[in-house]
Amino acid sequence: MSLPKFAASRSFHVELKNRINHYFEETGKSTAGSTGLLSKAVILLAAFVALYVHLVFFTPAPVWALLEAVVLGGTIAAIGFNVMHDGAHGSFSDHKWLNNIAAFTLNVLGGSSYMWNAKHNLVHHMYTNIDGADDDIDIQPWMRMSLEQKRYKLHRFQHLYFWFLYCLLYISWIFVMDYQKYFKRKIGTIALKKMELTDHLVFWGFKVLNLGLYIGLPIYMLGFTSWLIGFVVVTCFAGLVLSLVFQLAHTVETAAFPVPDAKNKLEDEWAIHQIKTTANFATDNRVISWLVGGLNFQVEHHLFPKISHVHYPAISKIIKQACREFNVTYNEFPRMRYAIASHVGFLRQMGRA
């Protein structure tokens, strides 16, 4: 498909940028992460290593091993939210090399930082919730996430079985989707930028390393059955957490799914499009905010992805005020459970409409 064009007017986006720039100039703060974020990254990465080593080399009793496997899955998701995500957007640190290291953690965790940059930073952040462009809402034929997608009989029950599919996200990501993108050279219908030799070497080098770290070595140390149980628990919990956080941001009843007109143009300018297609949840819950790396502030993130999530609580007040003045609806759920209920409602609607 040819990529749609946004409306030419950018007055709202310009006003937002001016106000946010004024905030950072007035406070003297850097737009990057704080020392607190660096400390959090160290804690999460150390926890990942400690849990992996303990499970593989000093395996505890089955009940404790299962609990540790759940925590390891959650830690993987937390590293993705707090470290990799900010690093990939260049907002983790003022230092480019530290951003690169933070983004590179995805390769160690089983994914591909190259594919993530193309899929998430370049496509999803530009064409959010546009069917045929945003790969995040392309879960066909298993789920229907847009009225423009074909509806099958099984979709009538997708609001019930989505939990199972979300558990499979991490496994399918590292073992299927990365390879599909690599060999097809496409993110959905959008062509990948040509990969350099180093990109190919990093992709294959870490895929092989991950097979050794997460399959070969654990099977050798633990045996096949123990490895399989632990691997399923870790990856399924990580997949469920990752899926829920990202889906609650865009596939809820209040989010828009814009369709280009006959001339392939969209109704809104880019910034308004981002607000209409995105929703926040549980922004007053400090525990959730800490664990998900501020990704419950998705409106702020989509408008200013190069600003670290540690600043989202502050700049959200500025963005809300601007939305009120420009009569732009700001989507937000005060509790995470309300967002989950809205996501279930959305899936039910998509399965029956």
Instruction: Enumerate the β-bridge partners of residue 186.
Output: 191
**Rounded mean pLDDT, 45-58:** 98
Q: Is 235 within 8 Å of 170 (Cβ atoms)?
A: yes
Please give the C-alpha separations between residue 191 and each of 115, 119, 185, 194, in angstroms, as whole numbers. 12, 10, 6, 9
The C-alpha angle with vertex 139 and arms to 136 and 145, in degrees rounded to 5, equals 75
Q: Which residue has the tokens 């993130």?
A: 301
Give me the pLDDT at residue 326, please: 94
Cα–Cα distance, 242 to 116 (Å, whole number): 14
Please give the C-alpha separations between residue 287 and each of 20, 39, 136, 191, 290, in angstroms, as whole numbers. 25, 16, 26, 39, 5
Give me the pLDDT at residue 1, please: 58
Give me the pLDDT at residue 132, please: 86
Q: Which amino acid is at 82?
A: N
**Rounded mean pLDDT, 63-92:** 97
Cα–Cα distance, 91 to 83 (Å, whole number): 10
Please give the C-alpha separations between residue 166 and each of 89, 116, 173, 216, 248, in angstroms, as whole numbers. 24, 18, 11, 25, 12
| Backbone dihedral angles phi then psi of residue 231, each to the nearest 5 degrees | -65, -45
Determine how β-strand 332-333 pairs with β-strand 280-281. parallel
pLDDT above 80 (res 193)? yes
What count of other Cβ atoms lies within 10 Å of the Cβ of residue 347? 24
Q: What is the pLDDT of residues 218-271, one digit of tens each?
A: 999 999 999 999 999 999 999 999 999 999 999 999 999 999 998 889 999 999
Give me the pLDDT at residue 242, please: 96
Q: Which residues contact 25 (CB under 8 A, 6 or more apart)?
A: none
Q: What is the pLDDT of residues 306-334, one digit of tens each?
A: 999 999 999 999 999 999 999 999 999 99
3-state secondary structure the chain: CCCCECCCCCHHHHHHHHHHHHHHHHHCCCCCCCHHHHHHHHHHHHHHHHHHHHHHHCCCCHHHHHHHHHHHHHHHHHHHHHHHHHHHCCCCCCCHHHHHHHHHHHHHCCCCHHHHHHHHHHHHCCCCCCCCCCHHHCCCCCCCCCCCCCCCHHHHHHHHHHHHHHHCHHHHHHHHHHHHHHHHCEECCEECCCCCHHHHHHHHHHHHHHHHHHHHHHHHHHCHHHHHHHHHHHHHHHHHHHHHHHHCCCCCCCCCCCCCCCCCECCCCHHHHHHHCCCEECCCCHHHHHHCCCCCCHHHHHHCCCCCHHHHHHHHHHHHHHHHHHCCCCCEECCHHHHHHHHHHHHHHHHHC
**Rounded mean pLDDT, 155-175:** 96
pLDDT tier at 190, thresholds 50, 70, 90: confident
